[in-house]
Amino acid sequence: MSNSIKLFFRESWLLMVSAVFFGALLAVANAAWAPKIAQNEINKFSNLAKALLPEAMKFEPLQNKDKIIIDLGDGKTAGADVRKGLDAAGNCIGWAFLAEGSGFADKIKLVVTADAGFTKLNGFGVQQCSETPGFGDKITIKNGFYQAQYKQAPAGKFTLTKIGDSKKIDSEIVAITGATVTSQAVVNIMNTYVVQIKQQLQQKKLIGQ
């Protein structure tokens, strides 16, 4: 009995020391990689936004007084990363923002762009997606039929349909066959962010009514 107790404490001590050691190692690794990961996210945002707004020379964050807060529902809110697309002369030629929400498999992150008046979308690019290969991940296909439906679409509320003309650019989005949940997830993300961002930009007089 005595030997069993000693063995238990000896092995528990080793386990605790190992946990502390590896925990500290992970913390150091996270601290070292966090800035690089953050910079990679910024670069990916800029690259996706630039592809959708090629005339923009840079994307300038909004001032603190113009910060956009998104109501996510269930009492949850989040700050939206909204940026002005500026040309070489410093004129606003469009808007780019990060929009995210739950997909079928995991979180979906989109970089969405709109024209200077926020009347029409220029489209979206996918920054993060873990949807089902061959089905839900079709939202990532640049210039694919699903992404194409949002190019020049009105910056407002969208609805999803399983049957329709995907080449008709309007507020009705035709779902990807076999990936209705993912298709609806993108529509939900758009409806959450596009509508609220547009309203708040109008309230702050950053765009016209």
pLDDT tens for each residue of the chain, 209 residues long: 566 666 555 656 566 666 666 666 665 655 555 555 555 667 788 899 999 999 999 999 999 999 999 999 989 999 999 999 999 999 999 999 999 999 998 999 999 999 999 999 999 999 999 999 999 999 999 889 999 999 999 999 999 999 999 999 999 999 999 999 999 999 999 999 999 999 999 999 999 87
Tell if the pTM clears 0.85, that is, is over it.
no
Q: Is residue 149 part of a domain?
A: yes
Contacts of 57 (CB under 8 A, 6+ apart): 86, 87, 88
Q: Within 13 Å, how many C-alpha atoms sit on residue 185's CB side?
A: 23
Are 100 and 112 within 8 A, CB to CB?
Answer: no
What are the residues facing 96 on neighbouring strands? 83, 113
Burial state string for 61-75 with b = 16 or more CB within 10 A and e = fewer than 16: ebeeeeebebeeeee
* pLDDT for position 43: 79
Q: Is residue 15 part of a domain?
A: no
Q: Is residue 38 part of a domain?
A: no
Report d(CA 143, CA 188) in Å as an integer.
Answer: 20
Containing structural domain, residue 187: 50-203
Q: Is residue 17 part of a domain?
A: no
Distance of CA 207 to the CA centre of its chain: 22
* pLDDT for position 147: 97
Joined tokens for residue 46: 């800029």
Backbone phi and psi for residue 60, each to the nearest 5 degrees, phi listed first: -100, 125
Q: Is residue 97 part of a domain?
A: yes
- How many domains, in total, are found in the chain? 1
Q: Is residue 76 part of a domain?
A: yes
* pLDDT for position 26: 66
Joined tokens for residue 188: 């939900």
Q: Which helix (H) or strand (E) holds 26?
A: helix 2-52
* pLDDT for position 3: 62
Q: Is residue 72 part of a domain?
A: yes
Backbone phi and psi for residue 129, each to the nearest 5 degrees, phi listed first: -160, 130
Are 103 and 185 within 8 A, CB to CB?
Answer: yes
